[in-house]
Amino acid sequence: MDAYKKKKTHVPFRLNILFVVVFLLFTTLILRLGVVQIVHGDSFKAEAERTENITAKLDAPRGKMFDRYGRVVVDNEPVFSITFTRTNNTTKEEIYEIATKLSKFIEIDTDTLTERDRKDFYLSYKVDAAEMYEKLLTEKEMEELNNKEEYRLVIERLKVAEINLTKEEEEIAAIWREMIRGYALTPQRIKVGATQKEIAIISENLDEFNGTIDIKPDAQRTYPYGETMQSIFGKVGQIPRELIDGYVLEGRDRNDLVGTSFLEEQYESVLRGTKTKINYVTDKAGNPVGKPEENVGSRGYDLVLTVDMELQRRVEAIVEEQILEARRKYAANNQLKSSYVVMMNPKTGEIYSMVGKQLEDGKFKDVPFGNVYNQYPMGSTVKAATVLTGYQTGVIDPGTVLYDTPLKLPGTKIKKSYKNMGYVSDIEALQQSSNVYMFRIAMMIAGYDYNEKRGFKNPAKAYETMRYYFNQFGLGVPTGIDLPYEDDGYNGGVQALGNLMDMGIGQFDTYTPMQMVQYISTIANGGYRMQPHFMKEIRNPSARSENPGESIMTHEPKILNRVDMKEEWIERVQKGLWMVMNTKDGTASSYFKNTDGYIAAGKTGTAQYDGDSYILTLVGYAPYDNPEVAFAVVSPYAEEGGINNKIGREILDAYFEIKKEGHREDILNQPNEGKGTDQKEQIQN
């Protein structure tokens, strides 16, 4: 009994201890929860909702371009850009509202708005999209097509005439187009090079944009030599819509600034810099949390070009002066409005100068790209290729004499030279520019017996043979120039015998000025077709703004092919080209006599073009015994006056005068230090 009582009183005591412990634990837990929720609630809540790290990227300044003697030809100017940064939650309506506000503060170029841009904007904001879909799509199309396919059809069928945007709406559309290009949290340039007035106004009104609009330091391309070769240097801009997918596959961002034409595009991988990276932490709603971390990028590599800007400017002035003089002196030249010139090292392919001038409304427009895009019948300048083709096919030998007299083929007009020359040899045919000699070569290649008036049984083979050998000189095939695009001329196909004969005098297939300078260079250097190129070196960016850094890659001359012709045959043709410019009966001798310190060789040409008009052409090189510069001159609608020969003489004079003066400050050939080989491999990869 006593033991039972003693045991009974012991149990409640243990329970009391347990209750106390539980009470204390619950009290501690409640206090802890209170601290978490009340004291640190906001910070822990934000920490719990941090779910994503996002990296935004900003383009770094691009590499500069220098001419062959270290003169800066493309530079970067510090400017300020107006940028837009949207969050993951920014709505379509908010973007329109921001664009509308911003249009009141900045001036934006609307000339670049495309038809597609206007249609996109119109469907997004200016019309009921559902009604437009019902109007432009059939019920079957709306049932079977996905959203992307439906939109494409609506865009195609929407007529431009239906889109009536006011000037203000076009400005909003131009801003809107830039705003929607990029990704969320990535600053998107709306305007590069904002004026001081625009910067001041936007700075005063930043609160209206809730942090979406900002003003950031940036860089803009500048051209110390003005318009000189500016179009060949190329442009920089947003990735074109049609190329976005390809760039994204390469790892680029949709809002990147890239080279969009010519050298900027060709050497995009060299000139682009290392981007500045901004690392954001965002919450579940996609809003930034905390201060972002920034890793500053670096400028791109510098590009040293083969061009001599002093020579380039001299040649441009010569071309402009000769066009104006020809138009003043010769009434028949009223249609003469343009001329093209290329000067190149025939042994290396380095382009020294590339000029294109076009007269519009009394002012000259710089169009050097015409040398790679425009193709013409080049006339007698191709006759050296015809003679060499004759040697190679065995229809003539060095020294073969043929009779120059008018030829009459069934169903064609009389084919003749500008005068009856009688018996002429191969080099005399070049010297005096005999058409008939070349006609006879073409007929013999075609297997045509002129006396019997029969043959030409396999026209396709005859044309193929002629073009095969012409192609070896670069006529009718891509030159390989380091530009994104080039025209490779026009192939007239297989036609009548008379057209084959015309091909032999440059009156059938057409070629570009760049192909012509490659062709004459191949003859000048002994038969090696060299790749023309603008890139001379790639250099590290330099801390000194006026000088390039260390050289990390040098362009090595590239031989595209060696012509299938004996060296002595090429030397024989070279002699004929020398006779053109240095003997009494040479067609260009009156222009190239009494040269100062050099002897030139070359070939003149006149081609019928566009009905009754003519093209005057000239190809050549100097010095004759050790060529260091080759050139091509092409002047469309130049009826008379020898503009081709005048330009040819003056540009050679300019080249050798500049060489003789020797006052260029070559700042490129300085001792270099550093790990150039490693960086070269990095660029190539």
Which positions are annotated as active-site residues?
A: 380
Q: Comparing C-alpha atoms, which of 442, 454, 444, 443 is closest to residue 410?
A: 454
| φ, ψ dihedrals at 610, nearest 5° | 55, 60
Whether the CB-CB separation of 158 and 132 falls below 8 Å is answered with yes
Extract the tokens encoding 148.
Answer: 């992307």
What is the b/e burial string over 53-73, where b = at least 16 CB atoms within 10 angstroms of the residue's CB?
A: ebebbbbbbbbbbbbbbbbbb
- Residue 623, preceding bond cis, omega within 30 degrees? yes
Task: Give the containing element (helix H, strand E) for 157.
Answer: helix 147-157
| Residue type, position 74, single letter | V
Query: Which three-class secondary structure state does DSSP give residue 24?
Result: helix
> 1: how many CB neighbours lie within 10 A of its CB?
5
Torsion of CA 588, 439, 490, 262, to 10 degrees: -30
Q: Quick check: 622 and 647 in contact, CB under 8 A? A: no
Q: Which amino acid is at 634?
A: V
HEC secondary structure over 567-630: HHHHHHHHHHHHHHHHCCCCCCHHHHCCCCCCCCEEEEEEEEECCCEEEEEEEEEECCCCCCEE
Are 73 and 222 contacting, i.e. CB atoms less than 8 angstroms apart?
no
Using alpha carbons only, what angle is made at residue 549 by residues 547 and 550, rounded to the nearest 5 degrees?
140
* Owner of token pair 């070569």: 441
Angle formed by the axes of helices 383-393 and 459-472, nearest 10°: 120
Helix (H, G, I), strand (E, B) or coil at 479: coil
Residue type, 350: E
Q: Measure the N-to-C terminal CA separation of the chain; round to a whole number of Å.
A: 97
Q: How far is CA 414 from the centre of its chain?
A: 45
Helix axes 383-393, 567-582, angle to 10 degrees: 150
Kindly tell me the burial class for residue 220, based on how many C-beta atoms sit within 10 Å of its own C-beta (0-12, 13-18, 19 or more): middle
CA angle 409, 413, 416 (to 5 degrees): 85
Amino acid identity for residue 138 in this structure = T
Residue 246 · residue 258 · CB < 8 Å: no
Look up tokens 């040293």; give the residue: 304
| E strands in 223-332 | 236-238, 257-259, 276-282, 293-295, 302-305
